[in-house]
Chain A
Amino acid sequence: MSAASYTRYELLRTLRNRRFFILSLGFPLVLYFLIAGSQRNVHNLGGTGISAPLYFMVGLLAFGTMSSMLSCGARIAAERAVGWNRQLRISPLPTRTYFRAKVQTAYLMALLSIIVLYAAGISLGVSMSVSDWLRMTLLILVCLIPFAALGIVIGHMLTPDSIGPAMGGSVALFAFLGGTWFPITHGFLYDFGQLLPSYWLVQASHIPLGGHPMSTKGWIVIVAWTVVATIVARRAYRRDTGRV
């Protein structure tokens, strides 16, 4: 009996789903070239001091990785729809192992998305030191934690019919308010955006400027979202034993 073995099959299943794979990696990439390609010589986007290729690399990467994390929910909903969730409930699979496998799979997809966008960014002239690349990656991975829990929440609360629009809509909102499409630098949307984990995800693009992109407020937002989403995810999972 091994948790590793269950996780391995989960990963295998995800990688075999070609259509999902290509769309979730390809979509942010195409958007990136459309948006940043035409602005590749903008070096100070909207007064942020960040070049457009770098800003949008991180922005689209935030968009892509949020989708990757939430698409974990789509896979859960599909499993529930065929009754597999109930089949797992009558096995000794521990809840923790189940969650871990789902989160690891989501992170794998996110990581692939990051690599693809980095390559695209470099092709449009993004450059920074190796340590900045690493710090940026680490920060992005940390800021994605709440989205891992949110993926599990929607997976166990929504049906496959409703999960498409729910995912699309929430990713679009998170992305817009987080500043994925253009920097939001003042006003109500700026204040509100800072309460979302996506804002801090996009802030990772500040790393090459040498500052500290994560304020105390940022950490509080990430931790708060993680804690709340995890509690809701546990509850949603526990309640979800009925026939769908």
Chain B
Amino acid sequence: MLAIEAQNLRKSYGSIEAVRGIDISIDAGETVALLGPNGAGKSTTIDMILGLAEPDSGTVSVLGGSPSAAIDSGWIGAMLQTGALIRDLSVRELIAMVASLYPESLDVGETLELTGLSEIAGQRTQKLSGGQTQRVRFAVALVSNPKLLVLDEPTVAMDVEGRRSFWTTMRSEAARGRTILFATHYLEEADAYADRAVLMAHGQVVADGPPTEIKAMVGLRTIRATLPGVDLDALGRLPGVSAAERRGEAIVLACADSDAAIRALLAAYPDARDIEIAAAGLEEAFLQLTGDDAGAQLEEAVS
């Protein structure tokens, strides 16, 4: 059975088209990363999957029915992107309160243990650090014992140790057969923890496949060098370069193959200096790869 099937989903807020016709299908038991920079439409897509936003057009079904039917059955646990906790309850009380809403919730103590919250179970929710709050929010999602776990940028505000233990827990939850969909803008997280990555940009799905493929596609490097007065178009035509841009006296090249690009650059422009080669972040990769007319060019670059 498909855990999630979305067809031609569209959603605008005023004049902003947040999601521009996407198709996603996720099998039961899969762990899928929804990958993309800020503003790609990930959260809006998740809102529609959860029934929190009504699509302008298109359909979405969750675990064989409507989102609201899946929610009423208590099958979905979710950690939304924005969110703090309500105050004046202890961590344990908050988790128990949420557990009481679900028909087949996990044991509260067990959930606290799993999410590493046992030691702070007695603390009031308003006294927690950012990382602790995130862990409590994860516990809120998990205690429902969901078939489908949806997490919107779950590791934001977690420190390194927090992230590590979070993903360890996630792995074991995936092994129990839960379907997991998580949004992230960290390529490494998608690469390390997902079976599949769905890459979104500007409200569209631009790639969908194993994370290693996606990684190759957007795992660009940039070459930066001081090189005044050079023709950008010529730079853009160098082998391995996908885009060129000027920043003052420096030029920045986004490269699909930085090895080929640096050889060609030095052969053609031996006076280039202050050369730096760096791995581009996902966001930079998108920006440099896509320019203004994002979706189309990226699709071109991909195919």
Chain A residues close to B by CB (< 8 Å): 1-2, 5-6, 9, 12-14, 16-17, 78-79, 82-84, 86-93, 241-243
Contact = CB atoms under 8 A, between A and B. Distances in A.
Given A79-B86, A82-B86, A92 B52 contact: no
28 contacts: A1-B103, A2-B100, A6-B100, A6-B101, A12-B93, A13-B86, A13-B87, A13-B88, A14-B88, A16-B89, A17-B87, A78-B86, A79-B86, A83-B82, A86-B52, A86-B83, A87-B83, A89-B50, A89-B71, A90-B50, A90-B51, A90-B80, A91-B74, A91-B98, A91-B102, A92-B73, A241-B51, A241-B52
Interface of B: 43, 47, 50-53, 71-74, 76, 78, 80, 82-89, 93, 96-98, 100-103, 105, 140, 144
A90 B71 contact: yes
A10 to B, nearest CB: 9
User: Residue among B72, B80, B102, B103 with the most chain A CB within 10 A?
Assistant: B80
A1 B78 contact: no
| Residues of B contacting A: mostly | loop
Contact of B85 (A84, A88, A92): A84
Given A92-B71, A241-B53, A87 B93 contact: no
Contacts of A6: 97, 100-101
B76 A90 contact: yes
B88 A91 contact: no
A109 to B, nearest CB: 14
Given A1-B103, A83-B83, A17 B76 contact: no
Report, nearest first, the 5 A-B pairs whose CB atoms are least far apart.
A83-B83, A82-B84, A5-B100, A9-B97, A16-B88
Nearest to B146: A90
Contacts of B97: 5-6, 9
